[in-house]
Structure 1
């Protein structure tokens, strides 16, 4: 890279521009947004955006990410597009912007066709400074055609970690954003997230096709007090959670890894006379909304939920978050536990750790990854349909989850077997794909699978560690806080765990070894095996702790080895 020193005239010009920008921002803050001053980190993000940089802002929840695009949108002449998965948050933002006189529109599945057409007309006529949309809507040809005739000053990606396949909350719908950005001639981008590891940071830029200027304000929130309680059996977990709810003042959230665990915890709290609501993905949409409103409005003290209750939830006076099981990784744990204490007041974040819970997360991980057979099925379904949209392909594969289909389509594009035109139709680029190509593409996810296993081990390490909880999280996110050694507010800092040594000295707690179990019978390729709730099948492959089995009618599934028995 070639660099040069600025001339004296260039330096004076830069100072004048900076001073003029600062005055403009102050004027907008006071007279439009009713804010006295920017918070830490906001100014750096806003300056980066106004300078035309593709920017990734990593800022804790509650640090004012919205202003980071609202200020530039008020300065730019063109339209700012904000992509978000949170329809309820869009509505709130839209109402607030309209109250202060900033034109805004939204496009998502909650609109009637008439409302949708009205929003599109507003965009065509340049009446909307800011346009909110879901990632699914951004990828539709109708919306893209309207945007192509509009001056796009900035493309904002909210919850940007969802675009990364290395992230904890990867959402396949986000994979279309990069293609949509290219179709719009690559407008400047602002990606916003509360957390991102170095790998996720790199992947966000790669998926968006951008060299990101990163502004990272850090994850540390000293008002959050972390602790882990070691549990010896499932019954103790319920009783311990009941005790914590009883002894902790204020409202709180209890997260469960499964619907069954959430329902059991909810029933136990109800029986104990607690004011409690329930939220999970299998409840009818109306019941979910009613329960969420009861909690958000203060009519229920405790919300018991799966991770379906999460993104966009901003109840600032939440005083405690309890996890009944370990999440899959520290990113998910930080995001979920971080829903406590957003008002800046002290809050408790407690993990109830039972070592058998690790197996549950291992089981979930297996279901995430596309096999070579699934890639082949998608490719074969696309072949007679091209050119076609993803929705048409989904109709041809009714048994495949939409999320897995999107991942398969992305892999087939990466492997140069498919491509998309400017209308985002899928087209074949290779009509004679060999079987080994699908094996190679599915192998890409073996690396991700290994990374996910490592992330789970780090989550378990956090639960078993005797070190400062905050220090462990800061190290995981590569968040360098100069001079930080311990938080003085987590369980390990307040009361360091120790064991007595023979010589009378104390040592940091080391977790006991896992109980020994008899070795499992060897499962080899060609073995006849059985899995609970499935027929007897034949082993096709064994890779580490995963076994791929072919069942009658040529269906193929992959399981953790511990769930597979010789027939």
Structure 2
């Protein structure tokens, strides 16, 4: 057969397979999942997974990431393992799958022993098509051995930004997933997240040991989310603003606080004002957290006041507003948390109450303890001692170190592994690599997290810049995430688009930011200033060329410095 005939035959075969796959996926959507059509990006992800490619899907909250693994799991002959950070999300997904006749199992610390044994037996019998587990469970050698004896055709990592040391919600337990991927024979990986900067994308691939990630980014823009920032001059004013906002908003909403104390105070304020409100934070007893979540989810409470412990994976489509009482640590966290509004596609308001002093709170949170060179040396020496008896488990090392164990032992081990000072086998047991490391090697490895702290500080400054900016809120978010949405200039719905800082304008008119006049005298915080077409006001903050001013009647606006004149 001529080469041209072979090529034509191959093309016809590919086309035939694609048509058959489309019919199969369409049938599954309608018959099993009750969905008529896929949303943008979903088919690309599904095709990539079914082609056996390692895939990173960056899709906004509410865009249907679950279907991206549920459809392949219904087609692939082996099991799909889904690694999730939240037990409540696992349970929710499990119940929904069982309602439509898909067998699934979950393994996590909340299960009674009888249910755990039942789940393990279903995996052993290969009767569960989808297996949900926490990253901690995946790191257990006995569980990994069970999966190795099964046929794992796909490993899914939900909330994949947690695996990256540059991500906003870095979780040390996720660091073991790369070793598990290798131990399972490197099945195709599907990593799912709503946000990822370029650095995070690269780091996810590195941490997983996957060099050929097919990145499918559907963009972060959600036009139904209307962003605004309300400037506060003091804590009392901010509390009053928060109460007024909650009262004026229709429908259900979430109020985020940066600390447990702030959450409890806001909960008490809203409850005293007669609002239908629930409270959620990490220091509440587990049963109380579950009760609060259930009251909010079933509509028995209109408002949830919470720390960031609440929200990841919460599937409540009709949230009409998200209010932040304090500035978050970075724009990734802010987008993730505010993005829990409007999952039904209807208009929702995302408001940040910005008090300049709140920045100090986040600066306090940034002072974290990361491994130092001497701690890495301690862990390495303990590993060498244990290795005299052969490869050892993580728990043995933890017991050997006892109270001397660094708070982030998993981070230490991952650093030592990345530095090729320790290695793991297929059973996830550890042992030292050959050779004696130098002091400089430990110093170099510790420097990785010194870099992270600097990045964290820069990320906070960018978050503050967003809060003080006079430009389109969506444009700022798109630029931060490197989302080059074609033709996007402004959303026409955020506070800065509807009331540009330098002058009011008709939203129906074309708006372009004019070049500001040359910079005038030095503007200082607390000084009196004036702006054309506005009254005299008080300077709240100065950030680069942007000045935030409080005017009479609690009006606050941000201007380019060139438009501001001292009084």
Task: Provide TM-score, normalisation by structure 1.
Answer: 0.85
Alpha-carbon spacing, 1:513–1:197, altered in 2? closer, same or farther (3 Å): farther
Contact 1:469 1:492 in 2 (8 A): yes
Residue pair 1:499, 1:506 contacting (<8 A) in 2 also: no
Structure 1 residues 6 and 368: CA distance shift in structure 2, 3 A? farther
Deviation string 1:78-106 (CA, Å, 9 cap, x unpaired) is 11111111212222222222222222111
Residue 413 (1) aligns with residue 421 (2) = no
Query: Any conservation in 2 of the 1:498–1:507 contact (CA below 8 Å)?
Result: no
- Alignment TM-score, normalising by the size of structure 2: 0.85
Contact 1:250 1:318 in 2 (8 A): yes
Q: For the structure 1 residues 497 and 506, does the alpha-carbon distance in structure 2 shift closer, same or farther, using more than 3 Å as the test?
A: farther
Deviations 1:316-344 (A, max 9, x none): 11111111111111000000001111111
Q: Secondary structure of 1:7's match?
A: helix
Q: What residue is the counterpart of 1:532 in the other structure? A: none
Instruction: Give the Cα–Cα distance (whole angstroms) in 1 for the partners of residues 406 and 243 of structure 2.
Output: 37
Aligned partner of residue 374 in structure 1, secondary structure: helix
The answer to whether the 8 Å contact 1:498/1:506 transfers is: no
Match of 1:23 in 2: 23
Task: Kindly indicate whether the alpha-carbon contact (under 8 Å) linking 2:252 and 2:318 is maintained by their aligned counterparts in 1.
Answer: yes
Structure 1 segments unaligned to the other structure (5+ residues):
517-567
Contact 2:371 2:406 in 1 (8 A): no
CA shift, 1:212, in A, is 0.7
Specify the alignment match of 2:128 in structure 1.
128
Quote the Cα distance in structure 1 between the aligned partners of 2:330 and 2:207.
22
In the alignment, which residue of structure 1 is the partner of 2:265? Answer: 264
Contact 1:105 1:128 in 2 (8 A): yes
SS of residue paired to 2:408: helix
Quick one: distance in 2 between partners of 1:491 and 1:220? 16
Q: State the shift of 1:440 in Å.
A: 1.6
Matches within 5 A, 1:88-237: 88-210=88-210, 211-237=212-238
> What are the residue-to-residue correspondences of 1:46-125 with 2, within 5 Å?
46-125=46-125
Change (3 A) 1:368 1:321: farther
Corresponding residue SS for 1:353: strand
**Kindly tell me: are residues 444 and 213 of structure 1, through their superposed partners in 2, closer, same or farther at Cα, counting changes over 3 Å?**
same
Distance 2:274 2:415 in 1: 51
> Per-residue CA shift, 1:437-482, capped at 9, x if unaligned?
3222111112222222211111111111100000000111111110
Paired residue for 1:459? 463
Deviations 1:412-445 (A, max 9, x none): 2122222222221222336854433322211111
Q: CA deviation at 1:151?
A: 1.4
Following superposition, the deviation at residue 294 of structure 1 comes to 1.6
- The 1:246/1:372 distance shift into structure 2, 3 A limit, reads same
Partner of 2:500: 496
Contact 1:58 1:195 in 2 (8 A): yes
The number of residue pairs the alignment matches comes to: 508
User: Where do 5+ consecutive residues of structure 2 fail to align?
Assistant: 505-513, 527-567
Per-residue deviation, residues 158-191 of structure 1 (Å, max 9, x unmatched): 1111111111111111110100010011001111
Asked whether the 8 Å contact 1:416–1:430 carries over to 2, the reply is no
* Correspondence for 1:284: 285
Give secondary structure in 2 for the equivalent of 1:388.
coil
CA distance in 2, matches of 1:81, 1:373: 37
Instruction: Answer yes or no: is the 8 Å Cα contact 1:278–1:303 preserved in 2.
Output: yes
- The Cα of 1:247 is off from its aligned counterpart by 1.2
Q: Which residue of 2 aligns with 1:346?
A: 347
The alpha carbon displacement at 1:270 in A equals: 2.1
Partner of 1:525: none
Cα distance, 1:402 vs. partner? 8.1
Deviation at 1:234, TM superposition (A): 1.6
- The alpha-carbon deviation at position 284 of structure 1 amounts to 1.3
| In structure 2, distance between residues paired with 1:514 and 1:371 | 40
SS in 2 for 1:191: strand
For the Cα contact (< 8 Å) 1:97–1:103, is it kept in 2? yes
Aligned alpha-carbon RMSD (Å): 2.4
Per-residue CA shift, 1:101-134, capped at 9, x if unaligned?
A: 2221111112233322222221222211111111
Matched, 1:473 2:474: no
Q: Deviations over 1:7-63 (max 9, x none)?
A: 222222221111111111111112222211111111111111111111111111111
1:499 Cα deviation after fit: 7.4
Match of 1:366 in 2: 367
Q: Give 3-state SS (helix, strand or coil) of 1:31's partner.
A: helix
Q: 1:247 and 1:398 mapped to 2: Cα distance?
A: 54
